[in-house]
Structure 1
Amino acid sequence: MHGTDAVSGGYGVINGFSYGLITPLAAYLMACLGGALGLRCTTRSLLVERSWRPGWLALGATAIGSGIWTMHFIAMMGFSVAGSPLNYDKRITFASLGVAIVMVGIGIFIVGYRGSTPMSLVTGGTITGLGVASMHYLGMAGMRLHGRIEYDTKIVALSVVVAVVAATAALWAAVSIRGFLPAVGASLVMGLAVTGMHYTAMAAVRVRMVGGLGRLGGDEPTTLLAPLLVGPVVFLVLAGVVVMFDPLLVMGNQDWQKPGEVRRPVPAPPRPVWPARPPWEEASYQRER
């Protein structure tokens, strides 16, 4: 992607696709899964009682944040720098997951409680997009290698704009799009936008190599990232089960009816009809009242 020979003081040769298309496709699928579950939960939050809304919004924020974080580090499994191994700082890596969930959560809660007004969408989308970008660059800050990471400022700014636009469009889709197929389409577009933001940001990366081959800090990707990715993936699967077997469906409160379809009200149960009292009992009953 960038660079010259991997010598001290020069720029190292970067490869963002060490495993070909395997890591980009896997990353894209995880971004789509997290986006689909997050959008579904956000839509649910607008259709349930207010007391249930925070739970659905929190589940949606965690799903989107986990999906974006998982996408990032799956894509980073294919990232390499010639002449240097890559390790990751465990605390910073965990912190990047927390930043993703919290920032996405703030944006989703704004839209969940303020509705789809232009102000709430712009505010929520900006916060969510900045959260996605912060997660990416914080995760990059946790990388340990025999070199110093530098960035092209213009491409970094472009990646942040892409993140904000993608997040705003995703929040608009969550509160505006109904129906299964449109929701699937919105999830695919969201996954494409998030993955595109990642690789746009990676295009800004340059690595200036430094002398010395001392021991790197942090953990190797095979010992940190692979086991670490299991948790978010399992969570996304469980969240998918919750969404698919939503108790509201059992109660008959469905939200995917066709546009323009009018729900028929459920008829009230008939009132019981009691047998008439004999005249002598009716007179006694009226005196007692």
Structure 2
Amino acid sequence: MAATLSEFHYGLVTPVAAYVMACVGSVLALRCTTRSLRRTGGERRWGWLALGATSLGCGIWTMHFIAMIGFTVNGRLMRYDAGLTVLSLLVAIAVVSVGVFLVGYRGSGPVTLGIAGTVTGLGVAAMHYLGMGALKLNGQVRYDTGVVLLSVVIAVVAATAALWAAVSISAVWATMGASLVMGAAVSVMHYTGMSAVSVHAAHGAVGGQSSADLLSFMLAMLAGPLILLLIAGVIVMFDPEVVMGRTEWDKPQASEAPEQAQGVGAFDWR
């Protein structure tokens, strides 16, 4: 028989918290990518791009995981396979890294952006459905193919827009606005994907766990990504570009050739 599903066991707490985390990951990723493009080369550029990719991957995965906390089948909270849950986090970071590094080193040309956005979007969708595969229940999970495809399209469009924003939007307030839109896009993709799900359980019997057990599992799974996001936030906040401000940062350095200083001023990465 078909089970009754709900995404909002805790009301608006989980979707709001999930959206906030998606926005946090997005804004950190945008600032890190912007910083990587500003007079940064070699290992420093690589480091900023890696930090941005990790922030975005952790933000997207954390959004998904927090949203899933409110998912119930026949009123029961779900159990999750820890191994698959961690694997979905690694997949999120890996695929986002591909997209971020592509646009970080090759720019936002149509071909590069299309490839990077498609790879990243498909990876985000794979992360979502891999996370769904971590569900432990005594029933069969089925998906509406049309809705699944729609969620994948949303993921690709959202990823492409995010990567474009990473190399095209530089002002702080514009970055904040872009992160709000990106967080909304990620959330829409998640709940679209969840609307494709149906569960069929014999005699209505499904697995489940208590709120206390789920809380313990949640804290264990979220600890690593949240620490990484905190570290990224501290690094971004204490970077000279932010601390010194635009005027000081834009002053030509004594060691720069006049033509180099003019070149930097011509491209307002911030």
Shorter-chain TM band: 0.7 to 0.9
Give 1:110's aligned residue.
Answer: 102
Map 1:1-289; keep pairs closer than 5 Å: 10-47=1-38, 48-82=40-74, 84-211=76-203, 220-247=213-240, 256=246, 263=250, 265-266=252-253
Shift of 1:220: 4.7
- Shift in Å, 1:232: 1.1
Tell me if the contact between 2:36 and 2:44 (Cα under 8 Å) persists in the aligned partners.
yes
TM-score, scaled to structure 2: 0.86
Q: 1:52 to 1:182 in 2, by over 3 A?
A: same
Higher Rg: 1
- Give me the TM-score of the superposition, normalised by structure 1: 0.81
Question: Deviations 1:166-203 (Å, cap 9, x if unpaired)?
Answer: 01001111101121110000000000000110001001
Whichever structure has more helix as a proportion of its residues is 2
1:221, distance to aligned residue in structure 2 (A): 2.4
Query: How many pairs were matched up?
Result: 251
How big is each residue's C-alpha offset from its partner over 1:18-55, in whole Å with a ceiling of 9 and x where there is no partner? 11111110000000000110111111111112331111
Unpaired runs of at least 5, structure 1: 1-9, 269-289
* Contact map agreement 2:34 2:166 (CA 8 A) in 1: yes
| CA distance in 2 between partners of 1:264 and 1:247 (Å) | 13
> What is the CA–CA distance in structure 1 between the aligned matches of 2:69 and 2:36, rounded to whole Å?
35
Asked if 1 retains the 8 angstrom alpha-carbon contact of 2:100 and 2:163, the reply is yes
What amino acid is the match of 1:188?
Answer: L
Contact 2:57 2:92 in 1 (8 A): yes
CA–CA distance in structure 2, aligned partners of residues 85 and 264 of structure 1: 56
Closer/same/farther in 2, CA of residues 13 and 29 from structure 1, 3 Å limit: same
Runs of 4+ in structure 1 off by over 2 angstroms are 210-217, 219-223, 247-250, 262-268
Q: Tell whether the 8 Å contact from 1:12 to 1:83 is kept in structure 2 after alignment.
A: no
Shift of 1:121: 0.7
Match of 1:149, SS state, is strand
